[in-house]
Structure 1
Amino acid sequence: MRFTFMCKKDMVPIAGPHGRGKIAIVGAGPAGLAASGYLVCQGYEVDVYDKLPLPGGLMSFAIPSFRISINSIIEGVEDLRDNFSVKFILNTKVFKRDTVRRDEGDEFTKNTVDLRELLNNYDAILIATGTWKSRKMNIPGEDSKGVYTALEYLFLLKSYELGYLNHEPPKANKVIVVGGGLSAIDAAEVMIHRGADEVYLVYRRTINEAPAGSFEINRLRRLGVKWMELAAPKRIIADATGNVKEVELIKMKLGEPDESGRPRPIPIEGSEFTIEADMVIEAVGEIATSPFPDQEYLGIKQDRRGRIIVNDELRTGNEKVFAAGDVVSGPSKVGRAIFLGLNAARNIHLYLTTKRISKGGT
């Protein structure tokens, strides 16, 4: 995976600072890596901050290896570091000082840097911190042993496979995965690969509305995953030791479109039923995780979903700060994050070469 594909064919890699300007990129996921590749190709000195011990973001620590090869990510990172002098400052979380927010992956954080410090030391900043917080179903029994979010479980598994954790996450025989997006698909397929006897993929709408699409869902069905649509968990039932025993679900019907434009799922009264399970994986979405918990900080604003607000140039309300990737769009595919990272990098280059100031995100 080459992130310096925007470099001219005859460009000779430069060791050491490039001298055109210094840029900080916060987040070493697909958006941040794509942006760093573009900017070093334009001659900038680039420092990339990330809380994890290895660059790649969700590509390295949440997306299964059967989708994206970790070796290809490492090769791209080594190219940036060794041939173009991109500096990776790892195990370092950029976050507003004296505030706390627990996100996935924070256990690897050894240092914290305030965004204000970066503003004082760089010509421009790109925030590409992704979506590292899981949504919950908020149903009774959710705190039972054996209940995970998809991000939580996949993160533990990838961290173990990469050698950063000593203990692998538990396996299970009967698994219920809740959701219809790619995270749900990945979690269900991982559990099949890990030897589960039964894996249910439960979704409150139909296959036609599932974000992952019918191709991915039907592919899983051929692998043995049991697709269950128009159903939603109502409560998780634990045994005497607190471990998941079964899940009570309720059948749904589709109503008028909701704010997403899809038919609203409506519970059918009296249609409850139960399925035995010893693990439940919630894949009902992730939340954008900006480097500050407030609605506004340093002129940078976020919406009610935690997404950083930007203008058409991907500039925030602070003229030196841009944002890209899932922290702007919400959960998306890797290709979309790379696209936004490249666009942000182009606009940073334009800003630094012309000092053109337009109205940022409001």
Structure 2
Amino acid sequence: MAFTVSLIKIFIRRNSRQRGMKFLKCSEDAIPPPTGKRVAIVGAGPAGLGAAGVLRCKGHEVHVYDALQEPGGMLIFAIPEYHVPKAGVRSGVQELVKAGVNFHLKTKVAGCSGDGVKLEDLVRDFDAVLIATGTWRSRNLGVPGEDLPGVYVALDWLFEFYQAQLGYTSMDEVPPLGHNIMVVGGGLTAVDATEVPLRYLKDRFNIQKVYLSYRRTRNEAPMSPREFNRLIEKYGVEPLELTVPTKFSPGPNGRVASATLQRMKLESVPGDKRPHPVPIPGSEFEVKVDAVLVAAGEIPSPPFEQGCLGIELNRDGTIKTDQKFRTTAKKVFAAGDVRHGASLYGLALKSGNEAAAALDEFLRTGSWS
């Protein structure tokens, strides 16, 4: 699976650089006559854009709703330019616009409560609805001091930075860091939370040291040992493997000033491929920090609560679907990370394409059984 994911990731990066990222699955002049069917897609990330490209090529009227200022989702607002060039994403989006896909930006879909477009209105007004809202929420560590000023959710901090980098806000609005930063986590968000400040903001915040705390070793890290080593060799990041923060403490100004970490050891668990980290009693130590970026993993962000319109969520927060991407509410489909959990964007794009094919079958046959 990892090999396949890597190939998808490499292909999309090359494709986005050379020809623009391709979401439309046909040439504009090959779009068939209108079917009279209307589809609403909630979320303009890779899954939503991929689905829009497939459905438009089937002749359906497609409307994409997104709360952000431009389409792209995490491709624009959560992944660095040096991984996914924004121009490639925007080129693919423009193809969709020229083909007749309608985008409703800065438009929040509010589920069954709250401000914004109501999901029930979309279900009423459209022939089918696809939910593709991704994984914009993050796990907490659940330790004392996590709510201190200077302790940030890494994904939220990165979003604020990209907002400023893209010109939607000012760099003055990017939450401040400091001389010594600690990043907590071992996944791809942890990579970006480590690298982005050092590449773009080192002088602005006079960054001297970045620590990378991970509860396992680099050999078990989702980012891969190679990526872990690259951060150390290229940027001088100080690894704190086999450690877990247990407390963050404030300084005189109320901001975070230190992190207490506990050393861990790995133990094998029957039936689990990865060893489990186990605390070593009496092994706590303290590290002085000016800011902390917590990248403990992303979780699904469906635009509604459990049971809204009869749509069920799984225990992990993903939307419950069958193999045809159908939710427990008729006419409503789900795709991408909000359906299967956090993944690389290649898999989200693939999921959107497959969901669109299933949705098209429903529109053509009317069958939900």
Within the candidate set 96, 100, 106, 1:85 is matched to 100
Q: Please state how far the C-alpha of 1:341 moved relative to its aligned partner.
A: 0.5
Residue deviations 1:143-163, cap 9 Å, x none? 222111111110000011111
Measured in 1, the distance between the counterparts of 2:246 and 2:323 equals: 41
Q: Please state how far the C-alpha of 1:93 moved relative to its aligned partner.
A: 1.2
> Partner letter of residue 352 of structure 1?
L
Measured in 1, the distance between the counterparts of 2:303 and 2:270 equals: 31
How many corresponding residue pairs? 342
The match for 1:29 is 45
Measured in 2, the distance between the counterparts of 1:260 and 1:20 equals: 50
Q: How does 1:64-143 map to 2 (within 5 A)?
A: 64-81=80-97, 83-99=98-114, 112-143=116-147
Structure having the higher helix fraction is 2
Within the candidate set 239, 243, 258, 2:255 is matched to 243
Q: Please state how far the C-alpha of 1:299 moved relative to its aligned partner.
A: 2.5
For structure 1, the 5+ residue unaligned runs are 100-110
The match for 1:154 is 158
The match for 1:12 is 29
The match for 1:106 is none
Measured in 2, the distance between the counterparts of 1:174 and 1:86 equals: 46
1:334 and 2:350 correspond: no
What percentage of residue pairs aligned between the two structures are identical? 44
Q: How does 1:43-62 map to 2 (within 5 A)?
A: 43-62=59-78
Q: Please state how far the C-alpha of 1:192 moved relative to its aligned partner.
A: 1.5
Measured in 2, the distance between the counterparts of 1:252 and 1:342 equals: 42
Change (3 A) 1:118 1:258: farther
Kept after mapping to 2: 8 A contact 1:134/1:287: yes
1:178 and 2:190 correspond: no
Q: How does 1:283-302 map to 2 (within 5 A)?
A: 283-293=295-305, 295-302=306-313
Kept after mapping to 2: 8 A contact 1:34/1:342: yes
Kept after mapping to 2: 8 A contact 1:27/1:128: yes
Within the candidate set 171, 196, 211, 1:200 is matched to 211
Change (3 A) 1:330 1:226: same
Query: TM-score w.r.t. structure 2 length?
Result: 0.88
Q: Please state how far the C-alpha of 1:258 moved relative to its aligned partner.
A: 8.3
The match for 2:21 is 2
Kept after mapping to 2: 8 A contact 1:237/1:246: yes
1:145 and 2:149 correspond: yes
Q: How does 1:275-354 map to 2 (within 5 A)?
A: 275-293=287-305, 295-354=306-365
Q: Please state how far the C-alpha of 1:4 moved relative to its aligned partner.
A: 3.8
The match for 1:357 is 368
Query: TM-score w.r.t. structure 1 length?
Result: 0.90
Residue deviations 1:121-146, cap 9 Å, x none? 11111100111112111111112221
For structure 2, the 5+ residue unaligned runs are 1-19
More moved, 167-176 vs 207-216 = 167-176
Kept after mapping to 2: 8 A contact 1:175/1:191: no
More moved, 28-37 vs 349-358 = 349-358
Measured in 2, the distance between the counterparts of 1:317 and 1:269 equals: 47
Q: Please state how far the C-alpha of 1:321 moved relative to its aligned partner.
A: 0.9
1:264 and 2:268 correspond: no
Q: Secondary structure at the match of 1:129?
A: coil
Q: Please state how far the C-alpha of 1:284 moved relative to its aligned partner.
A: 0.1
Measured in 2, the distance between the counterparts of 1:127 and 1:97 equals: 14
Kept after mapping to 2: 8 A contact 1:191/1:199: no
Kept after mapping to 1: 8 A contact 2:69/2:106: yes
Q: CA RMSD in A?
A: 1.9
The match for 1:225 is 237
Kept after mapping to 2: 8 A contact 1:145/1:244: yes
Change (3 A) 1:154 1:268: same
Residue deviations 1:25-59, cap 9 Å, x none? 00000000010011111111100000111111111
Measured in 2, the distance between the counterparts of 1:158 and 1:192 equals: 14
> Partner letter of residue 3 of structure 1?
K
Residue deviations 1:265-322, cap 9 Å, x none? 11101101111110100000122111212x2222211012211011111111123111
Q: Secondary structure at the match of 2:152?
A: strand
> Partner letter of residue 47 of structure 2?
A
Measured in 1, the distance between the counterparts of 2:53 and 2:277 equals: 43
